Amino acid sequence: MAFTQPDTEAIISGLEASAESLRAQGGTLAWGVFRRGGTQTVADGDVPYRIASMTKSFTAAAIGVLAADGLDLDMPLGRLVPDLNDTSIADRTCRQALTMGTGYTKDDPWADRVESMTGAELIDHLRRGAIPIAPADTGYEYSNLGYALLGVVTEAVTGRPFIDVATAEVLAPLGLSRTGFDVADFPDLVPGIRLDRNGRGHPAELTGPGVSSPIGGVISTVNDIGAWMNAHMDALEQVGSLDSLDHVGTSVPGTLPQILSDNQQAHRLIEVQRSDHHTESINYGFGLQPRLDSRFGRVVCHSGGYPGYGSHMRWFPDLGLSIVVFGNTTYYPAESVVRNVIDAGWAAATGSPGRQLTRTTTAVPAPHYPAAAQQSETVLRAANLVLDFDDTVADGLFTVNMDLDEPRAERRERFAAWKDELASGRDLELARAFTPGDLEMRTPLFGTVTVPDSYVGGSEDSAETPAATITVSLDHLGAVQTITLSP
């Protein structure tokens, strides 16, 4: 089957426009477009940024080295790290952690703020009663916790710090000299920016290495990530060339090319996306997100989001193309930027410049445990803070990230503006507290409160206005890590 080479000029034009848009917000965009054996176009290619969860690809490679040396990926974590035995995650495995199959919840806001926590502190945290939201291996649940524990496992089985193992076994062999884990080693690191609700920029706080470094602690450059992506495509070609009857057994398990090739294989289906012009399956492998796109063939990618930064890398093995984007605002939407420029490059290459793809998504269904009364009550109390903010209540509910992500004065201001907008636009008083009848717990640690009577039906000349909602997510111990208002 012939796949479509996206138009590189259209891709570059889109990235330049995104850079200009971010510049208007006070940020900077670094990016690179690489053609194997051909041209490359790079902006700020040697400037270091935090790459956040793109780090997981390096962590998975380090674990692959340990597996080649005898680490059993299917051994319970409690056997590898005996101190975990009195925690709820003790029976999970490295393989489940690698593929986001532990059944523990999405925890980015909390995890991004506790990078410097020690392994012992993380284990003490889990002993306080970490709450899984689903049985292991019953679906895809993106969770940083498993990757933090992969670092703990690394240190337990090697007796060496995780960062030393990853540096010696992965970064150094590939010559990634501008990639590392300690902000102190990168005095020229692009400063991260937190944008408040009014678009004002504030310096983002830096964190140091620790137990959460395996989830998102890497600092790197566009050029180094270009080499990292190319190493993965080299690995697919090298291992693939040995995968024949004439060469059985010559691809030695445990070599870095074999590990990088294995990490790009799909292990857990996440969702399927469709438009009128394509179908795309999205999976999770080992620290990477392998895809199949009817337009391009194989696609491999991973995003990163962090206070002050957002990143995305994506490569197309069947096209010899790779793209990386770094932005320096909190959770900069780098994945959307890359997706949009790739769509534009495809549209231009097929003679339909300007064509927009409208995607529909079918997620893989996954079972969840029922929410306990305490979790439902916490979500409801957090939602009621939007109506009547009480510092004492917030002190008892909020996890460490909440006031770091948004100072309380700004949070109160945002809540008040949202209430005023609802009151003026929908004739709502928002005087009474929310009740259990307003709450839907979607998982034990994720619930949505629908504002009563906030739905506004559309007329013949106007669209329907959806109901207003307040969504609350909790961390592994049931503390509040986000409060999101919509619309």
Domain positions in the chain are: 1-369, 373-486
Using the predicted structure, report yes or no on whether residue 461 has a pLDDT greater than 80: no
Percent of the chain with pLDDT over 70: 95
pLDDT per residue as tens digits for the range 92-130: 999 999 999 999 999 999 999 999 999 999 999 999 999
Residue 453 region, left (φ>0) first, then alpha (ψ -120 to 50), else beta?
left
Q: Once rounded to an integer, what is the mean pLDDT over residues 245-268?
A: 77
pTM for the model stands at 0.95
Using the predicted structure, report yes or no on whether residue 251 has a pLDDT greater than 50: no
- Residues whose CB falls within 8 Å of the CB of residue 193, separated by 6 or more in sequence, listed in order: 25, 26, 27, 201, 202, 203, 204, 308, 328, 329, 330
Which residue's structure tokens are 């502190």? 121
What is the model's pLDDT at position 247? 40
What is the model's pLDDT at position 249? 38
- Residues whose CB falls within 8 Å of the CB of residue 318, separated by 6 or more in sequence, listed in order: 3, 296, 297, 298
Residue 261 contacts residue 243 (beta carbons within 8 Å): no
pLDDT per residue as tens digits for the range 282-296: 999 999 999 999 999
What is the model's pLDDT at position 262? 98
Looking at 237-251, 252-266, 316-330, 342-356, which range is the least confident one? 237-251
What is the model's pLDDT at position 127? 97
pLDDT per residue as tens digits for the range 362-412: 999 999 999 999 999 999 999 999 999 999 999 999 999 999 999 999 999
Of 63, 243, 21, 133, residue with least CA distance to 477: 133
Q: Once rounded to an integer, what is the mean pLDDT over residues 243-257?
A: 58
Q: What is the mean pLDDT of the chain?
A: 94
Using the predicted structure, report yes or no on whether residue 459 has a pLDDT greater than 90: no
Residue 130 contacts residue 479 (beta carbons within 8 Å): no
For residue 32, list its beta bridge partners: 42, 324
Of 410, 385, 57, residue with least CA distance to 235: 57
With respect to CATH, is domain 1-369 assigned 3.40.710.10?
A: yes
Percent of the chain with pLDDT over 90: 90
Using the predicted structure, report yes or no on whether residue 246 has a pLDDT greater than 50: no
Name the more confident of 105 and 242.
105
